[in-house]
Structure 1
Amino acid sequence: MSIETGDSVTFAYTGRLDDDTVFDTSRQSVAEETGLAEAQPDREYAPLTVEIGDEEIIEGLDEGLVGLEEGATETLTIPPEKAYGEPSEEHVQEFDTEELEAMLDGQRPEVGSYLEAQGGGQGEVVHVDDETVRVDFNPRLAGETLTFDVEIIEVN
C-alpha cells in the first residue's frame, strides 16, 4: 500500500547536510557514531510517527514520503524552500544592550551564545557593542539543502 495524505506513517531517518554532517536522526547507533547522543543525552532516538499532510514535519519530507510503501528505503533531497526557507534579515532583531543585560540579570550577551525568545524560539547572538545586540532568530537549518535517508516501518 502506497503512502497517501492522511495516512499515519512510522519511519526511521537520518538527516544530513551537503557536507555529509548528520544534523538529526531517529537511529540510536547513528546518534552515538556522530556524537549527537552525547550532545543530547536526554533525547530518545526512536522511529517517528506522523500523519501525512498534518504539517508535523517539514514540507519536503512530508511530500517525499507520499507514494512510498512499507519496508521501502529512500534518500530524499529537500531544497531550502521545502525545508526551513532561506535566511532572512527579518529574523535578525536588534536590542538595546543595557535593556537586554537587565533582562539577563546583568549578564552581557556574547557573540555565539544563544538566547530564548518569549515564544520559545532560539536566536544566536551575532553582534554585541555598547549600544546594540543583534540576535539571529533564523532557523538553524535555514538556507540548507537537506538529505534524509528514510526507512518506512509502518503505514496505517
Structure 2
Amino acid sequence: MSITTGDSVTLEYTGRLDDGTVFDTSQQSVAEEAGLAEAQPDREYTPLTVDVGAGQVIEGMEEGLIGLEAGETDTLTIPPEEAYGQPSDENVEEFETDELRELLGGQLPEEGAYLEAQDGSQGEVVHVDDDTVRADFNPPLAGETLTFDVEILETN
C-alpha cells in the first residue's frame, strides 16, 4: 500500500550534499565511514519513524515519501526551498561587544564559536571586533540541495 498523508513510516536514510558529503544518516556503518560517528559519539543510529504530514521532517522529505511503499528504495533530491530555505541576512544578528561580553560572564566568543539563543537556535560567530560581534543563525544546510537515499522499512 502506498504511503499517504497521515501514515506512520519507518525508514533508513542517508543525506548527502551535492558534493557527495554525508551530513546525516540512520545507519551506523555509514556514519562511521563518513566520520559522523566520531563527531557524535553518544548518538544512536537507528531507523527513523515519522508521521507523514505532521511536520516532523523537512517538506521535501514528506512529499518524497508519499507514494512509496514498504520495501521500496528511492533517491529524493530536495531543493533548498523545500528543505532549509536560502540563507538570509535577517538571520545574522549583531551584538555590541561590551554587552555580549557582560552577558557571557566576561568571556568573548571567538570567530567559529557558537552562541545559543533563548529559543535554542545556534548561531556561528562570524565576526568579532572591539565594537561588534556578528553571529549567523541561518540553518547550517540553508541554501543546499539535499539528496536522501531512503529505504522504506514499514508503514502503518
Q: TM-score normalised to the size of structure 1?
A: 0.99
**Percent of aligned positions with the same letter in both sequences?**
74
Aligned partner of 1:140 in structure 2 is: 140
State the secondary structure of the residue aligned to 1:23.
strand
| Paired residue type of 1:72 | E
Partner of 1:129: 129
- 1:3 maps to 3
The equivalent of 1:37 in structure 2 is 37
Q: Does 1:112 align with 2:112?
A: yes
Q: Which residue of 2 aligns with 1:91?
A: 91
* TM superposition outliers: structure 1 runs of 4+ over 3 Å: none
For residues 92 and 44 of structure 1, the distance between their equivalents in structure 2, rounded to whole angstroms, comes to 32
- Cα distance in 2 between the residues matched to 1:98 and 1:44: 40
Give the stretch that moved more between structures: 48-57 or 102-111.
102-111
State the distance in 2 between where 1:33 and 1:24 align: 12
Provide the aligned length of Structure 1 versus Structure 2: 156
The match for 1:58 is: 58
Q: Distance in 1 between matches of 2:131 and 2:149?
A: 46
1:77 to partner: Cα distance:
0.3
Summarize deviations over 1:117-140 as a string: whole Å, max 9, x none.
111000000111101000000000
Distance 2:33 2:145 in 1: 22
Secondary structure of the structure 2 residue equivalent to 1:125: strand
Structure 1: gaps spanning 5 or more residues: none
Q: Which runs of 5+ in 2 are unaligned?
A: none
Match of 2:73 in 1: 73
Offset at residue 25 of structure 1 (A): 0.3
How far off its partner does 1:104 sit? Answer: 1.4
**2:115 & 2:93 partners in 1: Cα distance?**
12
Between the aligned partners of 1:120 and 1:103, the Cα distance in structure 2 is 16
